[in-house]
Structures are given as C-alpha cells and as structure tokens.
Structure 1
Amino acid sequence: MSSITLQNRCFDEIEIGDYASVQHTLSMRDIQLFATVAGDFNPTHLEAAFANHAGFSGATAPGMWMGAQISGLLGSQLPGPGTVYAGQSLQFHAAAILGDTLEISITVREKYPEGHIISFDCQCSNQHGQTMMTGIAKVVAPTEKIILTRPDAGLVSVQTHHAFETLLERCDELPAFTVAIAHPCDFSSLKAAIAVAAQNLMQPILVGPRAKIEAIATQNALDISAFRIEDVAHSHAAASRAVELVTSGEAHILMKGSLHTDELMSAVVKSSLRTERRISHVFIMDVPTYHKTLLVTDAAINIYPDLLDKLDICQNAIDLAHILGIAKPKVAILSAVETINPKILSTLEAASLCKMADRGQITGAILDGPLALDNAISYESARIKKITSMVAGDADILLVPDLEAGNILAKQLTFMSNADAAGIVLGARVPIVLTSRADNDRTKLASCVIACLMANARITPT
C-alpha cells in the first residue's frame, strides 16, 4: 500500500475564505465504528426497524459523527498537522440516513493573530442539497511547516453477523416443521426449543425423562406447557425414540439435546434414516473477516475419511450450498500445500476428487485442490504463489483432510475470528441438528433455520 503524505498550512499562509471539503457515502460500518469508539449504542443509529418506528427512513448517523468529520478535515487538510482544537459549536438540522452521500466542508471565517486562532464555518449537506449541519469551529493553527507520512492509526475492523438473518427471512413463508429433540435435559436445550417455537420455525417434541425435563423447566422458569413430551427412561432410549419419530414421519427434523453425539448418531446409523450416501457434518460459518458464508466439512463425524468418503462429504456439502442459494459453489480441497506430493495423501485425494468432478462423479460445483488454507481464502496469497484458479481466494466450501483438521479450523474461526458456526448433519433422510453447549443463541437458531430449509427442499419439487 502506498504511503500518504500530509502537509499543513501555517497560520500566516491561510486566508479568510479558504476552503476544504470531503465527500463520503454513509455506511453501516461508519455508524458501527462510531458507536464502538463513542459508546453510543442508540438503536436509532444501529437498528433500521427502530429508526423507521421513530419516523426516520432508515438507520441514522449520530450527529457527532458529522462533527468528527469536521475534526478530520481540520487535522488532516486545513490547517492540517499541528492543529489544536480550541472549540466547536454545531447545530443539527436533519438526520443523515444510511446511504446518503454527504459533503462536509469548512471555510475560514476569521483570523486572530493573538494566539494564532482561526475560526471556521462548518457545514454538511446531502446529495439532495439539504443542509444537515452547520456550526463554527475554532483552532490554534500551526506556525511551523510540517510535511510527514500519514501515521498508522492501526487496523480497525467491524465484525458483524448478518448471514443467518438472511436465511431466517427465507423461512417466513415456510410451515413450522416438527422436530424431535433427543434428551433435552438441560437449560440450553429447552431454551433452544422455546426459541424455535417462538419464531414459528418448529413444533418441538421433547423426547426424554418427563420428570427431569419438567424439573429443569421449573428450575429455570421456562414454559414448556405447549410442547409434547415423549417420556422415556434415559438418553439411549431418547435417541432411539426420537429416531423412530422421524422415521415414521411424525417429525421432519431430528435434533440433539444434552446427550452425547455418538449416542444420537448410533441410533441414526442403525435405522432406516441412512441413505446410500455417507453421513457427514457441515459447519455453516458466518466469519466477519471473510467476504461470504463459508462451509467447513467434515469436522464432527468422519474421523479419517478415505477418498470415496470424501466424495460423499463433498457432494453433501454442495447439495446444501444449493439449498442455501449458492448456485455454483466453489470447493477448496485443503491440504498443507497446494502442490501434489505423493508423501501427503490428502494432496493425492484432492487431485482425484477434482478429476472425479471432471468425470461427473461430483456435480454442481467448481472444485480445486490441493489448496493450502491461505490461498483457498485469500486472493493475495494465491496471487503471490502464482496460483491460477477459479476457487482460490473465493471458496464457498472448505473440504478438510480429516476431522482433526476440520475441528481445529472451525474452532479457530469461532474463538479467534469471532465466527458464528451453525451445524447440520447431511446424508440422512432428514436434517439432523447437532448443537453444542458452547453455541450461542444465534448459532443454535441458525442451525434450526438451515434444517428447516433442508426439510422444505425435501418436500418441494425442484
């Protein structure tokens, strides 16, 4: 990145009427950054629905955000480096709405030689010529010439999660699918059941020891009176009964409660829910630092998948991507390196999977591999390594070498990159929701949303 030079104008160089301006289109990132720095979390600025209810036509910028732009002009352009703020008086005449293109300007009003004080008229107007703000700012202007490279203020990123909200909106017109929740014998499981019912996503059937379920609900003041309870003795029986409910068609979706994943999946494998496909798991990840939703597979079920296992794991993820609205997903088949090395089995399997796609054994996606993680998700890394690929830097699906690699990757994204990770089991006759006690409410709801979209896809002709 090229450096930017800043050069000031000293008090004696500045004349009355001198002018500086900047034009900027207001984005949600601007509002979020200001809220984080200033501690101003007024929902009028951050929530469009709240702003609309308050009579605005969208989220609005805090008035002092416009004041901060004045500060930027004074400190960087006129007078520039060395300027010291002495005072400011602003009046706000209209709200700046998300998407407005604003012109913020300062004009020299008066000069006071004693103390090297300069006052400026300040103004902000939008793309329609409407005046949003007026005011006066006073500064102590520099008296010595300064020319310098713009200092590094540090990298700042706004990390937000919106991908799952879009999927939730797609469920508005869907029926509430019945879900059999196996052994919901903790607060987290019961809370999730109440949440999906409140959103009209699902109609829960609670499968487990009735006395234990009701005791947990009472202890935590949770109202589960509207839910059907299938009373069974223990977690193994709960897994079996929940599987029976979806096998018989009484439920459309299977969901893990507080039992071990192995208990639930053992009951699934022994049932008619199995298909000719290998059962696999996908994390659907909303990663704030990546430019789109990212699917990671398999990080929860297949420990050391072989080539044919990976064929099914890959196709399962591709089919899910189609349901999520990704018409031609890009699949990066990961390894430690991006070149084929006979000593690294995952590179050979990656090359084989790509050839399988060429032969029509895997359909509906663009595959490339082996790719290392850096060039799978970074255009710049791929460019530096001279990798020409339609997938590199733009992957929708990351197919990992084995469960250990996938689990580490998914947890790193979750706990070090603040990603949200919804989880779903694929390859069975019904969607299977696997939640973790570490999941937040948003990701648990997202897992259920994805299960509903899958259930709807099963009954809706393509």
Structure 2
Amino acid sequence: MHINQQQRMIVNRTFDEIQIGDNASLTRTLHADDIKLFAIMTGDVNPAVVDPEFAHSGIFREVVAHGMWSGSLISTVLGTQFPGPGTILIDQSLHFARPVRVGDTITITITAKQKFEHNKHIILDCLCLNQDGLPVVQGSAEVLAPTQKVERQAMHMPDVTFDNKEERFNRLISRVKGLEPIPMAVAHPCDRESLKGPVMAAQEGIIEPILVGPESKIRAVAEEFDIDISGIRIVDTKHSHESAALAVTLVRTGDAEALMKGSLHTDELMGEVVSRANGLRTARRISHVFLMDVPTYHRPLLITDAAINIAPTLEEKVDIIQNAIDLAHILGIPDPKVAILSAVETVNPKIQSTLDAAALCKMADRGQIKGGTLDGPLAFDNAVSIEAAITKGIKSSVAGHAEILVVPDLESGNMVAKQLEYLANALTAGVVLGAKVPIVLTSRADTAETRTASCAVAALIAHANRKKSGA
C-alpha cells in the first residue's frame, strides 16, 4: 500500500474570524491498511482489530477500526482546517456509537458552539457520520484557538509502503491447503535450516519428508535445535554422496514424488540427478526457476536460469523458457509474459544475448516455444517498468508487465534474484524443472521459510504431474 500525501495550502481560522455555527468537514474511507498503519503507530495490536480469525468470533463478527482512528480524524480537522495551525487541544469528550468497518466512508464535521473571549477558547461539536448518515462518533472538543493568521504549504510526507512478508508466505502456502501431502526425499538434511525446512513443510501438510542421511547426525541436529522429527522416516547413509544417490533412487522407484536438497553441495545432488544410467533425466533440458513475490512489483516474477545452466546456448534457452512457461501455467498464469533480458533493448550483433532474444521471439512465433508471449531483447528496467518502456519508446505487451525474466547467463540471473531477495525483501522459492520430478534446490544460506515455500511450489508441480499421468 502507498499513502501519497499531496501538497496543498493550509490556512487557519483565527479566534476573531470564527463565528458560532461555522464548521468544517473531512471525508475518509477506511481501508484495511489504515488499520495496520494505526496499529503500527500506536502499538495497539488488539486482536479484535488486527486478527481476522479472532475478530470473526467477537461481537462485530468482522475486523473493525480502532475507536481512536475516527478520533484521530477529528484531530486532523482541528489541526489542519478548523481552527487549523496554531490550535491547541485543551479538552475532549467522545462517545463511540457504532463500529467503523473496512470500506465505510466517514464524514467528520466540526462546528463552533461557544466562544470565550477572555482566554480565546472555543468549544466545538464533533460529529462523525458513516455513509448511511449514522453517527459513529460524537462529542465535543475545547481548544485554544489561534490568534494569528497562518497560511502555508503543507509539509510533504513520505510515501508509506506496507510489506508483510509473513502474509505473502501464508498466501503461497494456502495454495496447497487441502491437497494431499506429497512424499519428498530430502538429501542430507544435516544442519538447522535444511532440517527445519522440510519439517515445517510437513507441519503445514505440504509434504511427507523422507530424510536421507546419517541418522545419528540428523538426530543430533534435531535435538540441538529442538526440531521435532518424531514420526518422520529416516533412511540412514554414511555420507553426503550416498545420501544423494539414495534420495534419487527413492524417486526413481516411486517412493518419492519430489526431491529436496539438504546441506550437501549442489553438484553432489545434481550429479546423481543427471546421471544417464540412474538419474532423473527427461527429453527436456533441466533448468532452475526462482519464483519471487516482490512487494514493489505488481506481478509474480519467475527468474530463469540462475542456478543450473551457466552459459546456456540458444537451443538450451528454448527448454529453459518452456520449463518456466509450464510452471507459470501450474501457478495459474495462463499466458505468461516472457521478457528475454539483455543489457539493451535493441539487437546488437556484438551482444550475443540480443541475438538469442530475437531468435527466441521468432521461434515462439513459429510455435517452437508455446504457451507464453515473448519479447526481447529487453533491458531489466523496461521489462518491469512501464514508465521506462514508454520513455524509451518501446511498444510491447510484455514491457513493464513481465512475469518471466529469462536471463542471459547464471551469473546475471543469480545477481538479480539475490538482489531482489536481500534488497527488495522478496519472498523466494526455488525449484528445478525438466527432470522426472520437481527438485527443491535452495542455497545453503536459505532460511527454513524459503525451503518451505519451495516445497509448496514443488507440491503444486507434483499434483499437476499426477493429473497428467491420470493418477
């Protein structure tokens, strides 16, 4: 949410200018984020107003505004309109007649009732009516009115942006609620985050983890960090290489429908995955997608490939894009907008990524890439900013609205993804596509929450695979 304070002139009414019966009004509509902002400012996190589940069990059966939200609007009128700057509040009495609900439009009217010449005090009636003309707050205020005229421009207030990462996490997790947990082989979960992640996902009902690794080490980690692994199957191994091999074997034999990297190195796990003899290859090139929920961007972002293919060829990029498009469909994006990124938005024979972008777009025109709308080359700015695209004269249905960002190489993709995660507070999930099953491939630095979010994406893919196979 952005609260934009527009500049305007503020002019007061002095004691001598005010006549009995004079009044001023202000109208505001209550939004859900107004309640959050008021709670943040005051520290009043009464569950009756900030917890929807609790509020629905209360007297009003829904979230309502803090009572003093309306009271604060009275102060707004007093301080900015009537009497305005220079006003000092001496006394106030308010009666709260009925709740203010999200979506209600409140009109606050302040009316001069009495004046006292000896001390320049004024008593004012205060009335707040909702959109139905019913009073929600009424009362009176005594103020010391200004005696000198003030006319000045209102101070510019910064934009306020709300970012609730926990809420975004819960929104992703809610997408798999009600689905049957999928069995997932977890290779070598031998540190805190790599063990806590699958356990959290199991507690959320997303997966049924099979922990593959040295049992004594796994139990020691669980005990040290108070992670409850009771009832979770453990397959004992001697070392990380064996953990990777056995985890892949569990998938190949049908005991697991997804694979997850633990605290071993990526090369160990992926070496087993791509093994021609005993791996999980398909006809499709294996690639990685970062799914990112960025609070400052209006769409979900899929970034590919930032973890598997170091410097993909044109042919490999076809599979990388198709993998991402197929995932977008599973996530409910029927015609994803795909931006082929480069440093510039024009074809330059000296920059290979621009040549690849042009070729990929033409291949999509010819049906060699299906299910999405491609455009490129596009620089990062005009891929995600419609203002940047307009400024540069780019006419494109993708520019400014990209949902899939196809990066030139692993280095650039990894930098973009990590910048969004650490500088823009993006919620991140990572999954490998193109193998027989989805693979949760997270960084060793990733938190348990990131791993759980990645499990949710893998679960959606696994259920989509079930539908394809008719299971």
TM-score band, normalised by the shorter chain? over 0.9
Q: What residue number does 2:155 align with?
A: 151
Where does structure 1 lack aligned partners over 5 or more consecutive residues?
Answer: none
Q: How many residues align?
A: 462
Letter in 2 for 1:79: P
Alpha-carbon distance in structure 2 between the residues aligned to 1:237 and 1:154: 56
Q: What residue number does 1:15 align with?
A: 19
Q: What residue number does 2:46 align with?
A: 42
Q: What residue number does 1:121 align with?
A: 125
1:425 aligns with 2:417: no
Letter in 2 for 1:403: L
CA positional deviation for 1:166: 3.4
User: Helix, strand or coil: the match of 1:360?
Assistant: coil
Equivalence map 1:242-261=2 (5 Å): 242-261=247-266
Alpha-carbon distance in structure 2 between the residues aligned to 1:351 and 1:259: 38
CA positional deviation for 1:182: 0.4
CA positional deviation for 1:210: 0.8
Alpha-carbon distance in structure 1 between the residues aligned to 2:91 and 2:355: 67
Letter in 1 for 2:179: L
Alpha-carbon distance in structure 2 between the residues aligned to 1:53 and 1:122: 32
CA positional deviation for 1:437: 4.4
Q: What residue number does 2:75 align with?
A: 71
1:170 aligns with 2:175: yes
User: Helix, strand or coil: the match of 2:54?
Assistant: helix
Contact 1:287/1:420 (8 A) holds in 2: yes
1:409 aligns with 2:413: no
Q: What residue number does 1:361 align with?
A: 368
CA positional deviation for 1:206: 0.5
CA positional deviation for 1:439: 3.2
Letter in 2 for 1:192: G
- Cα pair distance change 1:192/1:169, threshold 3 Å: same
Letter in 2 for 1:422: A
Alpha-carbon distance in structure 2 between the residues aligned to 1:460 and 1:164: 26
1:371 aligns with 2:348: no
- CA deviations over 1:359-413 (Å, ceiling 9, x no partner): 1111111111122222211122222222221112111111122111111111111
Contact 1:4/1:149 (8 A) holds in 2: yes
Equivalence map 1:245-394=2 (5 Å): 245-270=250-275, 271-394=278-401
Where does structure 2 lack aligned partners over 5 or more consecutive residues?
Answer: none
CA positional deviation for 1:428: 1.0
CA positional deviation for 1:80: 2.9
Q: What residue number does 2:206 align with?
A: 201
User: Helix, strand or coil: the match of 2:24?
Assistant: strand
User: Helix, strand or coil: the match of 1:354?
Assistant: helix
Higher mean displacement: 440-449 or 401-410: 440-449
Contact 2:106/2:131 (8 A) holds in 1: yes
1:98 aligns with 2:105: no
Q: What residue number does 1:395 align with?
A: 402
Alpha-carbon distance in structure 2 between the residues aligned to 1:187 and 1:437: 10
Letter in 2 for 1:398: L
CA positional deviation for 1:40: 2.4
Letter in 2 for 1:348: L
- Cα pair distance change 1:342/1:40, threshold 3 Å: farther
Q: What residue number does 2:467 align with?
A: 460
Q: What residue number does 1:31 align with?
A: 35
User: Helix, strand or coil: the match of 2:398?
Assistant: coil
Alpha-carbon distance in structure 2 between the residues aligned to 1:261 and 1:68: 55
Equivalent residue in structure 2 for 1:211, among 196, 199, 216 = 216
Higher mean displacement: 384-393 or 315-324: 384-393
Equivalence map 1:170-189=2 (5 Å): 170-189=175-194
CA positional deviation for 1:52: 1.1
- CA deviations over 1:247-274 (Å, ceiling 9, x no partner): 1110011011111122111111114411
- CA deviations over 1:164-184 (Å, ceiling 9, x no partner): 433432322211110100001
Equivalent residue in structure 1 for 2:441, among 430, 434, 439 = 434
Contact 2:168/2:427 (8 A) holds in 1: no
- CA deviations over 1:222-253 (Å, ceiling 9, x no partner): 22120111111111110110011111110011
Contact 2:197/2:449 (8 A) holds in 1: no
CA positional deviation for 1:163: 4.3
Contact 2:193/2:446 (8 A) holds in 1: no
CA positional deviation for 1:100: 2.5
Superposition CA RMSD, Å? 2.1
- Cα pair distance change 1:430/1:133, threshold 3 Å: same
1:222 aligns with 2:235: no
Letter in 2 for 1:259: L
CA positional deviation for 1:417: 1.2
The TM-score, its normalising length taken from structure 2, stands at 0.92
CA positional deviation for 1:185: 0.8
- Cα pair distance change 1:213/1:93, threshold 3 Å: same
Overall identity of the aligned pairs, in %: 55
User: Helix, strand or coil: the match of 1:53?
Assistant: coil
- CA deviations over 1:93-129 (Å, ceiling 9, x no partner): 3332223333333222322334433332223333344
Q: What residue number does 1:134 align with?
A: 138
Contact 1:298/1:313 (8 A) holds in 2: yes
Alpha-carbon distance in structure 1 between the residues aligned to 2:316 and 2:361: 14
